[in-house]
Amino acid sequence: MKMDFFRKRSFKYGSYSVVMTVVVIAVIVMVNVILGFSGISKRLRFDITRNKMFSISQQSIDMVKSLDRDVEIFILSSESSYSNIMVKEVVNQYVVHGNGRVIGPRYVDLDKDPTFISKNFDPDQVKGINTGDIVVRSGKNMRVLNNQDFMEVSYDYYGGAQVTGLKVEQAFTSAIRSVTAEKTATVYFVSGHGEYKSDELSQLKTTLTLNNYNVETLTLTSPVPGEVDVLFFPSPTSDLLGSELENLLAFLERGGDAVFLFDVQSTIQQLPNFNDAFSRYSLQLNYDLVNEFSQANYLKENWMIRPMVYMTDVTKHLNPDQLFIYLPMSRSIGLLSENKQNLEISPLFGTTDNSTSVDLNTGAQRFGPFLLGALSELEIGLNNHSRIALVGNCTFITDDYISELGDNGSRYIVSILNWMQERTDEVLVPAKSLERPPLNMTQQSRVLVFFLLTAVIPLVIIGTGLFVWIRRKNL
């Protein structure tokens, strides 16, 4: 009886059919699994968007190809719930071009492994790493990125925020450079002279961190430590003490660099010690307020100056036409006539001929053009130099200003620091613009398109169908 069943034609066909089905499906699944889960799949993806939204620049490719140590990328989210397609694609590009040095992305679901952060990144849980953050790690160095780091935000006249660009590549390239760097330069924000407080410059500090600078604070009451690379003075309003001047000069004389930003003072207080330091670089801080009258170079008020940007080592990587800044209430910078052979001065920002300044001490008026910012480099012995930047405005890098008029100023500061640190190969990756192609439609053409698409075309198609059907029915 049993033997009859096995000899039956239906059993033969049935078993043949089942085996064949299983084999065919298994082969197809295998092919797809091999393609999908191997490294090949990452190389078979092509970004065909017009502005290469999901691709990284040649600079980043070169940087990642030259890595000599492993970099791991952790995305602190389950793979299925992480939806930032641009981050996924950009990380993919680093992995593809990283010659095996860039490992990841490794998705970590913190709901399933809640102790992962404390075990791997932050035993004391003080770094504020959260779900959705991305950790870039190389050895003991790590950098945490979050969605804020990926967005370029611009603000309209009324203070409304709008995401205008994506800087995913910028953030990852910077993070990879930072965690693989032999040494990360540290910028020390000096306090003790009425400078802007730390929480008034938080956006600038974030930008500096994103560009591989550590940010610390310092007072000049004791000698400047050897590990300090750059001193940053965010608009001191009172002068240096004698001992502080000595400490500053000692730092500069051993090749230290410094950035000085000064707003227009509300009190008529002279800053002779600061000017003493500047005089060594043939620069001088004036006690005035500059007004611009050339219509293309101010915004609404004559004191809201859009400065002319001079081509220097600082600005040659930037595009001043797009990276325009406004300097609200600026003071001018003077050049001392003293001619020093070991000194090189470059103008950074300036006004047009059609500008004036009012001396806050005497009320005397002078006529432009004026310098609003300058760079000075002093040779100190063989292969050593000290560089300073002096700008007659600091408001343009404060959080309040940035929230109203954008953070282009931070890019100039980063570029100044890169010049000081001689980061000649620095990758200045521009943000990917989110500007989308506009549609030039009048209200009339909008109505026309609406009727054409929702009524005329569908009715013509359905009408044709009915005509064909009725005609065939009556044949």
Partner 1 sequence: MLAILRRDFRSYFNSPIAYVLIGLFICIMSLFFVDSLNAGVANFSSNFISSMSFMLLFIVPILTMRSFSEDKKSGTEVLLLTSPVRLSQVVLGKYLAATAVFLVLTAVSLVFPLVLLIYGKPDGATLFSAYLGFILLGMVFISVGVFASSLTENQIVAAIITFVSLFTLTSFSYIGSYVGGLVGKVLNWLAFMEKYYEFSAGIIDITSIIFMLSFAVVFVFLTVRILERKRWSQG
Q: Give the Cα separation of 363 and 446 in Å (integer).
A: 59
Hunting for tokens 């980043």 — which residue is that?
60
Q: Give the Cα separation of 63 and 172 in Å (integer).
A: 11
- What is the footprint of partner 1 within residues 400-439 (CB under 8 A)? 436-439
Using rule CB under 8 A, residue 147 touches partner 1: no
Q: Residue 356 has which token pair?
A: 């004036």
Nearer to partner 1, 311 or 468 (CB): 468
**Segment near partner 1 (CB under 8 A); pick from 77-85, 121-129, 144-152, 336-344:** 77-85
According to DSSP, the β-strands at 301-305 and 327-328 are antiparallel
Nearer to partner 1, 92 or 265 (CB): 92
Among 9, 119, 183, 316, binds partner 1 (CB under 8 A): 9
Distance in Å, CB of 20 to partner 1, minimum: 8
Nearer to partner 1, 25 or 181 (CB): 25
Q: Distances from the Cα of 72 to the Cαs of 108, 180, 248, in angstroms?
A: 13, 11, 40
Hunting for tokens 């005329």 — which residue is that?
456
Using rule CB under 8 A, residue 465 touches partner 1: yes
Hunting for tokens 């940035």 — which residue is that?
402
- What is the footprint of partner 1 within residues 13-42 (CB under 8 A)? 13-14, 17, 20-21, 24-25, 28, 31-32, 35-36, 40-41
Q: In what order do the strands lie in the sheet with 298-299?
A: 298-299, 301-305, 327-328
Distance in Å, CB of 464 to partner 1, minimum: 6
Nearer to partner 1, 89 or 239 (CB): 89
AA identity, residue 179: V
Q: Give the Cα separation of 194 and 186 in Å (integer).
A: 22
Q: Distances from the Cα of 82 to the Cαs of 76, 90, 91, 193, in angstroms?
A: 9, 14, 13, 46
Using rule CB under 8 A, residue 453 touches partner 1: yes
Question: For partner 1, what does the binding mask look like between residues 93 and 132, x meaning CB under 8 A?
Answer: ----------------x--x--------------------
- Residues 324 and 282 sit within 8 Å (Cβ to Cβ): no
Interacting residues toward partner 1 by CB under 8 A: 9-10, 13-14, 17, 20-21, 24-25, 28, 31-32, 35-36, 40-41, 44-50, 53-54, 78-81, 85, 89, 109, 112, 436-441, 445-446, 449-450, 453-455, 457-459, 461-462, 464-466, 468-469, 472
